[in-house]
Amino acid sequence: MKPLSILLILGCIGLHHATAQVNYSEDIAPIIYNNCTSCHRPGEIAPFSLTNYNEVAAWGTMLKYVTEIKYMPPWKPDRNYSTFVGEKGLTEQEIKLIAEWVDAGTPQGDPNLEPPLPNFPTGSQLGTPDLVLEMSEDYFIEGNNQDDYRVFVLPTGLAEDKEIAAIEFRPGNTRAVHHALLAYETDGLAAARDAQSATYGYESFGDFGVPVQGTFTGYTPGIQSVFFPEGIGTTLPKGSDLLVQVHYAPLATNETDRSKVNIFYKKGNDSISREVERLPATPFDLDGGFLSFNIAPNTVRTFHGTKELTEDISLMSVYPHMHYLGKKWDLYALTPSGDTINIVRINDWDFNWQGAYTFDRMKKIPSGSVIHVWGTYDNTSNNPFNPNNPPARVRWGESTTDEMYLVGMTYVPYRNGDENIVMGQGTTTHIEDVFNSTESRIYLPFPNPANDYVVMSYYLDKPQTINIEILDSKGALVKSIVKEQRFTTGNHKLEFEVNELPAGLYTLSLNNTSLKLTRPLVITK
């Protein structure tokens, strides 16, 4: 009986280990601190903090949901196509752990086993800046539920040229600032335009409203600021003005903002031997030329452009940009030997999550290669973000109702060994698990809770006619959003107002005769 007793004991031990309850301290805290807390902490872009057990547990149900549908952490480039600094995304195992933890009631476990919170720099991702340029006054953002694009001129006051190692935009009001673009100019044109404006800064959508001599990587929520590698950088000329174009998102309440820019100089023996250069792709590079950029109403159109290289380059970053009709980007290089070098692929463009992406290692693209740039646009009524209702003909332009086909790439002339230079000081990640919808589903309504408007995303596995409705707690119809309208296969987005509904718990329903999908929706006042 002794061997049997030992086997039983060992079996019980093994069973206990296999069924050990997932807990925050050992299982969840490492996931949250490594993937979420950089944005979800005081002073950063996220609307709430995830820095300790109590904060994370309070949002447990929401965390389970947004991670299961891959809505958070947000990352638009296809991770199976190319790899960038600061990629966001969880493995399937991490997503399962979060779900198990929430289903188990968010147990804390032993606090002594919890890893320490990372040491995040205050007021910067990179450390102490050499120069801080701040807006000279608060900018008033009217709560009128409209986009506001504003350019602010920040004089550098530099008495000599400065070699730049990194530049970092810091939003003053994370609720209001949606994204920002950075450039500099030396002719005083922006300052002159600012002086003519009745209010601080001047309005400009899409660009800076004046010719610029150079640009820097801009800001989007959660973007990872990085230092240029040793010997590589850019020069900020003496007497230059830094231009910051800020997009303030639509808000229902009045807000103010005073953002700043941190600038880091090259130090010690690290001086610039290769200046960062820019390689733009614009409608002038299209197969049919600039005037071919013309999107007829009720059409989905793809444009193709090329850039041929006359020297070996090391590609460092890419920044694709389009407006609300944008659907997809696909960039790659074909070498003279017939090889394909992936640059970036975005399968579901979202204007609200655009960004500049720095490769984890520089990409060598040999002379004679041709960079192919494909951009797809949806100018139909099926595109819920189409600014024209009904759809209208759209051409190149800077206003909300216009469109853009624009890609900014940075590079330096190639040197042996560039392929081995790690960018971003070890912050690179590469997530193999990529979410692909195979069944119709509704993603997380956002914001949720909501008090003004809701953005709903959903996927259809085949073309079909659907209804989208809001039901009350008893299942009664309170608002019809879409009635008997046909949509194509794929992902769709829809924005609608809910401010006329009283506070309470509702159900968002997508349905037809053979399909019924629901998600909870909370409305507050």
Q: What angle do CA 257, 444, 62 make, to 5 degrees?
A: 80
3-state secondary structure 426-492: CCECCCCCCCCCCCCEECCCECCCECCEEEEEEEECCCEEEEEEEECCCCCEEEEEEEEEEECCEEE
Six-digit token string for 283: 């409608």
Q: C-alpha dihedral over 121, 126, 130, 135, to 10 degrees?
A: -80
Residue 47: pLDDT band (50, 70, 90) is: confident
The predicted model gives 123-139 an average pLDDT of 91
Greater pLDDT, 448 or 474: 474
The dotted CATH code for 277-420 is 2.60.120.230
Which residues touch 455 (CB under 8 Å, ≥6 apart)? Answer: 445, 446, 447, 493, 494, 495
What is the architecture, at CATH level 2, of domain 131-275? Sandwich (2.60)
Q: Looking at this protein, which amino acid is placed at residue 317?
A: S
Greater pLDDT, 507 or 373: 373
Chain-centre distance for alpha carbon 168: 16
The predicted model gives 279-288 an average pLDDT of 95
pLDDT tens-digit series, residues 250-265: 788 899 999 999 999 9
pLDDT tens-digit series, residues 354-368: 778 899 889 999 999
Six-digit token string for 209: 């409203």
Looking at residue 398, its pLDDT comes to: 64
Greater pLDDT, 327 or 47: 327
pTM: 0.69
pLDDT tens-digit series, residues 184-241: 999 999 999 999 999 999 999 768 999 999 888 888 766 677 889 999 999 999 999 9
Looking at residue 45, its pLDDT comes to: 67
pLDDT tens-digit series, residues 331-352: 999 999 999 999 999 999 987 6
Count of C-beta atoms within a 10 Å radius of residue 155 = 13
Helix, strand, or coil (residue 77): strand
Greater pLDDT, 178 or 173: 173
Residue 489: pLDDT band (50, 70, 90) is: confident
CA-to-CA distance for 355 and 180, rounded, in angstroms? 10
Q: What angle do CA 178, 183, 411 make, to 5 degrees?
A: 105
Q: Is 171 exposed, middle or buried (0-12, 13-18, 19+ CB in 10 A)?
A: buried
CA-to-CA distance for 308 and 344, rounded, in angstroms? 17
Greater pLDDT, 452 or 185: 185
pLDDT tens-digit series, residues 151-160: 999 999 999 9
Third-level CATH fold of 441-523: Immunoglobulin-like (2.60.40)
The predicted model gives 448-463 an average pLDDT of 80
CA-to-CA distance for 53 and 112, rounded, in angstroms? 12
Greater pLDDT, 118 or 235: 235
Q: List phi, psi (to 5°) of 375.
A: -130, 130
CA distances from residue 215 to 167, 204, 496 in whole angstroms, order as listed: 11, 16, 36
Chain-centre distance for alpha carbon 240: 29
Do the domains 441-523 and 131-275 match in fold? no
| Residue 441 contacts residue 519 (beta carbons within 8 Å) | no
Count of C-beta atoms within a 10 Å radius of residue 390 = 9
3-state secondary structure 258-320: CCEEEEEECCCCCCCCEECEEEEECHHHECCCHHHCEECCCEEEEEEEEEECCCCEEEEEEEE
Looking at residue 426, its pLDDT comes to: 39
Q: Are strands 516-523 and 504-511 parallel, antiparallel or unpaired?
A: antiparallel
Residue 444: pLDDT band (50, 70, 90) is: low
Looking at residue 87, its pLDDT comes to: 80
pLDDT at residue 432 is higher than 60: no
- Residue 326: beta bridge partners? 377
- Domain residue ranges of the chain, discontinuous segments joined by +: 18-113, 131-275, 277-420, 441-523
The predicted model gives 359-386 an average pLDDT of 94
Considering only 42-46, 221-225, 278-282, 499-503, which range has the smallest mean pLDDT?
Answer: 221-225
Peptide bond into 449 cis (omega under 30): yes
Residue 14: pLDDT band (50, 70, 90) is: very low
Provide, rounded to the nearest whole percent, the portion of the chain with pLDDT above 90.
54
pLDDT at residue 62 is higher than 50: yes
Chain-centre distance for alpha carbon 471: 32
Helix, strand, or coil (residue 323): coil
CA-to-CA distance for 369 and 333, rounded, in angstroms? 6
Q: Using alpha carbons, select from 44, 275, 320, 38 the residue that is nearest to residue 165.
A: 275
